[in-house]
Amino acid sequence: MYGNDFAPPEEGPGGGLLGEVEAAEAALREAAARARRGGPAPDEDLEAYFADVIDADQKIEPRDWMPEAYRKTLIRQIAQHAHSEIIGMQPEGNWISRAPSLKRKAILLAKVQDEAGHGLYLYAAAETLGVSRDELVELLIEGRQKYSSIFNYPTLTWADVGAIGWLVDGAAIVNQVPLCRCSYGPYARAMIRVCKEESFHQRQGYEILHTLAHGTPEQKAMAQDAVDRWWYPSLAMFGPPDGDSTHSAQSMAWKIKRFSNDELRQRFVDMCVQQAEILGLTIPDPGLRWNEERQAYDYTQPDYDELTRVIKGDGPCNRQRMAHRRGAHEEGAWVREAAAAHAAKRAEKNKEKVAA
Amino acid sequence: MSKEQTPLWEVFVRARRGLSHTHVGSLHAPDAELALRNARDLYTRRQEGVSIWVVPASAITASSPDEKDAFFDPAADKVYRHPTFYEVPDGVAHL
């Protein structure tokens, strides 16, 4: 039911996206086992050595030499990924106090806690590239780094929590599973952890929608309305079409990215159609139909002008999300200072104890 | 300013009794106790472990990949360190 409708990975344990994650994990271990011994030879060209490691599908590790542009593009991508996890807590956090049952509330709390964890794994991965988390948080707060466009849409009903799980986390997984094979080791390892947990998010969202869609007519209508509003923003999560994607070609060559935006978007659409059928809900696209020749669904592209507007800061909730994040940072300053002062005092006391 | 406020800690978790602690990641915290509590929340949400170590990242000294060969090569010419180096005469049991 979860993505089994496209080819399983080569010799992957189990099918579907989770199977692919496990296969990537196995590949990571293998890559480590057959890693080229030692660093570059003293007379070896560093660029050639780097290209060699990438060609051999081995991992670049924090202390290895890497081109400056590779480092920069990874910092940008991992940081924006981390920011997305942190900002992404807001739309769902909006429904914690209003969840319809204690069970749903406990699940939603666990999920939002996971998102915080994902943010931290990713900040830690970014830090291995020589940038500090404080700098990255600063860049986010000043609006100089971005986060996923999707979190600038409002959660208007409880069903939106389900639609976010199914569509938004679903799109995130389709995007992130290939990143488990990314050439930068710390990022690949973080993605493996994240994808496993993200699968829980996707399934709990799907379950919410399934329950609503098989409930009262009002509940079903609410579920359909949520899917109607989240479908296109979710498709837009894969980024601009291949022709307009600025970083794609280089990222593919460096094996940071494994598939193009449009390839991943297609994969997501093909997965969702069958999942929507089982939900008994409709995907809001009159142009959606099976293409026998391509063995894939034809679908209507999202509005990329809208995507550009949202990325540039003009979506429905951009200001609210940033104001909230900035407010938490500023109002929390005294707590961080108190914790630091307390830690310093304790360290001082310990020193005295050791000296005595 | 806040760079010194929350230093980086490396986190090691032991999954079960009898296994060794394995490095699972890192996090920022003002002191060891908060590092431990955050590590509990961050790395053992799904029963990943029974014991956690946190170490300030600044306390760790790592070998460098540039000198990897020079550093580890001495092991290569000491094959006699492996039991398979030694020939056992035919017919010897339990050796």
Q: What is the mean pLDDT of residues B12-31?
A: 89
Which chain B residues touch A if contact means CB-CB below 8 Å?
2-6, 8, 25-28, 30-31, 34, 41-42, 45, 62, 64-69, 72
| pLDDT value at residue A39 | 64
Establish, for the pair of chains A and B, how many residue pairs have beta carbons separated by less than 8 Å.
59
Q: What is the 3-state secondary structure (H, E, C) of chain A?
A: CCCCCCCCCCCCCCCHHHHHHHHHHHHHHHHHHCCCCCCCCCCCCHHHHHHHHHHCCCCECCCCCCCHHHHHHHHHHHHHHHHHHHHCHHHHHCCHHHCCCHHHHHHHHHHHHHHHHHHHHHHHHHHCCCCCHHHHHHHHHCCCCCCCHHHHCCCCCHHHHHHHHHHHHHHHHHHHCHHHHCCEHHHHHHHHHHHHHHHHHHHHHHHHHHHHHCCCHHHHHHHHHHHHHHHHHHHHCCCCCHHHCCCHHHHHHCCCCCCCHHHHHHHHHHHHHHHHHHHCCCCCCCCCEEECCCCEEECCCCCHHHHHHHHHHHCCCHHHHHHHHHHHHHHCHHHHHHHHHHHHHHHHHHHHHHHC
Of A38, A113, A133, the CB nearest to B68: A38
pLDDT of residue A38: 58
Which residues contact residue A121 at a Cβ distance below 8 angstroms, ignoring those fewer than 6 apart?
Answer: A190, A193, A194, B25, B42
Q: Which residues of A touch B28 (CB under 8 A)?
A: 133
Residue A302 pLDDT greater than 60, yes or no: yes
CB contact under 8 A, A339 and B34: yes
Average pLDDT of the residues in B10-33? 90
Mean pLDDT of A324-328: 97
Residues of A within 8 A of B2 (CB-CB) are: 134, 336, 340
DSSP assignment letter at B20: P
Q: What percent of chain A has pLDDT over 90?
A: 76
Q: What is the mean pLDDT of residues A273-281?
A: 96
Dig out the tokens for A5 from the structure. 């409708």
**Residue-level pLDDT at A1:** 34
How confident is the model over A108-120, as a mean pLDDT? 95
Q: Angle A220-A212-A103 (CA atoms, 0-180°, nearest 5)?
A: 160
Confidence at residue A286, expressed as pLDDT on a 0 to 100 scale: 96
Cα distances from A172 to residues A35, A85, A166, A176, B73, in angstroms, run 30, 11, 10, 6, 44
- In Å, how far is A64's CA from the nearest CA of chain B? 7
Is the Cβ pair B42, A117 closer than 8 Å? yes
pLDDT of residue A13: 46
Residues of A in contact with B25 (CB under 8 A): 121, 124
Nearest beta carbon to residue A133 from set B28, B66, B69: B28
Nearest to A340 among B25, B30, B45 (CB): B30
- The DSSP letter of residue B55 is E
Q: Taking 70 as the threshold, does the pLDDT of residue A258 lie above it? A: yes
Looking at residue B79, its pLDDT comes to 79
CA–CA distance, B32 with B38 (Å, rounded to integer): 10
pLDDT of residue A12: 40
- Higher-confidence residue: A197 or B71? A197
Q: Quick one: closest CA in A to B8, which residue?
A: A124
| CA closest to B9 among chain A residues | A124
Asked if residue B81 has pLDDT above 90, the reply is: no
Across the interface, which of B45, B66, B67 has its CB nearest the CB of A117? B45
Closest chain A C-alpha to B69 CA, distance in angstroms: 5
pTM of structure: 0.86
The residues with which A290 forms a beta bridge, in sequence order, are A297
The average pLDDT across A319-332 equals 97
CA distance A89 to B87: 64
Predicted confidence at residue A354, as pLDDT, reads: 78
Question: Between chains, do B5 and A339 touch, taking CB under 8 Å as contact?
Answer: yes
pLDDT of residue B1: 40
Inter-chain residue contact A117 with B25, CB threshold 8 Å: no
d(CA A118, CA A193): 8
pLDDT tens column, A47-95: 888 998 899 888 999 888 999 999 999 999 999 999 999 999 999 999 9
Distance from CA of A8 to the nearest CA of B (A): 27
Q: For chain A, list residues whose CB is within 8 angstroms of any CB belonging to chain B.
A: 37-39, 61, 63-64, 110, 113-114, 117, 120-121, 124, 127, 132-134, 336-337, 339-340, 342-343, 346-347
Residue B9 phi, psi (nearest 5):
-120, 140
Q: CB–CB of A38/B76 below 8 Å?
A: no
Closest CA to A50 of A26, A68, A33, A30: A68
CA–CA separation, A86 and A133 (whole Å): 13
Per-residue pLDDT for B83 more than 90? Answer: no
Residues 6+ apart with CB under 8 A from A85: A115, A116, A118, A119, A122
Predicted confidence at residue A10, as pLDDT, reads: 42
Partners of B62 on chain A (C-beta within 8 Å) are: 63
**pLDDT value, residue B62:** 84
Phi, psi of B11 (to 5 degrees): -115, 130
B12: pLDDT strictly greater than 70: yes
**Average pLDDT along chain A:** 90
Burial string for B10-28 (b: 16+ CB within 10 Å, else e) reads: bbbbbbeeeeeeeebbbbb
What the block records as the tokens of A256 is 């940071």
- A339 vs B27, B30, B65: nearest CB: B30
Which of A29, A120, A123, A189 has the highest number of chain B CBs within 10 A, making it the mutation to test binding with B?
A120
Q: How far is CA A295 from CA A267, A282, A289, B82, in A?
A: 11, 21, 11, 56
What radius of gyration, in Å, describes the C-alpha atoms of chain A?
22
In this predicted structure, which of A145-159, A287-301, A325-339, B15-29 has the lowest mean pLDDT?
B15-29
pLDDT tens across A34-52, in order? 665 556 666 778 888 899 8
Say whether pLDDT at A328 is over 90: yes
Q: Check B65 against A39: CB less than 8 A apart.
A: yes
The burial class, CB within 10 Å (0-12 / 13-18 / 19+), for A228 is: middle
pLDDT of residue A15 exceeding 80, the answer is no
Give the closest-approach CA distance of B93 to chain A in angstroms: 34
Does the beta-carbon distance from B8 to A127 stay under 8 Å?
yes
Which chain B residues have a beta carbon less than 8 Å from that of A120?
27, 42
pLDDT digits (tens, 9 = 90+) for A190-247: 999 999 888 888 999 999 999 999 999 999 999 999 999 999 999 999 999 988 877 7
Q: Which of A121, A137, A198, A330 to mutate to test the interface with B (most CBs of B within 10 A)?
A: A121
